[in-house]
Amino acid sequence: MDRKKLAAEKAAQYVKDGMLVGLGTGSTVFWTIKKLGELVKNGLDVRCVPTSKNTEILAKKVGIPLITISEVNELDLTIDGADEVNRNLDLIKGGGGALLREKMVASISDRLIIVVDESKSVLNLGRFPLPVEVVPFGFEITSKQLRALDCIPILRTEHNIPFITDNGNYILDCHFSIIQEPHELNRKLNMIPGVVENGLFIKMADIVVIGHINGNVKIFNNTK
Ligand code: 5RP
């Protein structure tokens, strides 16, 4: 069975009747959303906040009742994917470009459950280029300031034009190779004018569900 699907469907078991749930973005949480759609058809009573336009479209298609983030103060849980997970359960996210909404939704969730396949599990964060969402105004200046943090920022493009996030911003994918102090970097990044948010999720994940090629699913809990 697909490793992503294994982890994603396992995580759907955390969703219970009456919950308010954040729905992440990407090809792994896709399977959670499909599963939740089936459960809703069979009577599960949930309301969900999507973290991207793509997730909103998918969730509507499978019949999941949606609300906006503005209608809630907090969520019971959020299920989302990640691009890298280290042993402290710190994450790099934003490969799909939805990091800002993902972080906002995660920040009001009682529990953040991350679903990944084993290829995302790393000793040190940073091999995956860190996505940083920046305002288009003067992004060249923002890029220079990011470069001063010892990375190579590359403007994300799609069909040879800048990729635009759901919030109308650009993404600079920052190549670090290795991130030694994720907490400190997270702080420094968000102090740069022009940076809207970055893809480091530090001490945010409560549970990480990892699907393995041999069909096993491992679950890690963060003690925080
Ligand atoms: C989107 C994300 C995704 O969760 C992350 O990129 C993982 O995606 P996938 O499950 O497709 O590998 O952060 O912004």
CATH number, domain with residue 34? 3.40.50.1360
Q: Rounded distance, CA 202 to CA 88, Å?
A: 9
Say yes or no: 93 and 154 in one domain.
Answer: no
Give me the number of domains the chain comprises.
2
Please identify, by atom number, the ligand 1 atom nearest to the C-alpha of residue 27.
Answer: 11
Q: Residue 2: helix, strand or coil by DSSP?
A: coil
Note the Cα 62 to chain centre separation in Å: 21
> Do 63 and 30 belong to one domain?
yes
Residue 221 lies in a domain: no
Residues enclosing ligand 1, CB less than 6 A?
24-28, 80-83, 93-99, 102
Rounded to the nearest whole angstrom, what is the distance from the C-alpha of residue 79 to the centroid of ligand 1?
11
Distance 2 CA to ligand 1 centre (A): 16
Percent of the chain scoring above 90 in pLDDT: 98
Q: In angstroms, how far is CA 134 from the centroid of its own chain?
A: 17
The answer, yes or no, to whether residue 224 has pLDDT greater than 90, is no
> Is 84 annotated in the active site?
no
Confidence bin at 127 (pLDDT 50/70/90): very high
Q: Distance (Å, rounded) from C-alpha 213 to C-alpha 22? A: 27
Share of the chain above pLDDT 70, in %: 99
Over range 121-143, report the average pLDDT.
98
For the cut 70, the answer to whether the pLDDT of residue 125 exceeds it is yes
β-pairing verdict for 75-80 and 84-85:
unpaired
Tens of pLDDT, residue by residue over 148-194, are 999 999 999 999 999 999 999 999 999 999 999 999 999 999 999 99
Quick one: average pLDDT of 113-121? 97
Average pLDDT, the chain: 97
Q: Residue 176: give the domain boundaries.
A: 130-196
219 assigned to some structural domain:
no
Query: With bands split at pLDDT 50, 70 and 90, how would you rate the model's confidence at 41?
Result: very high
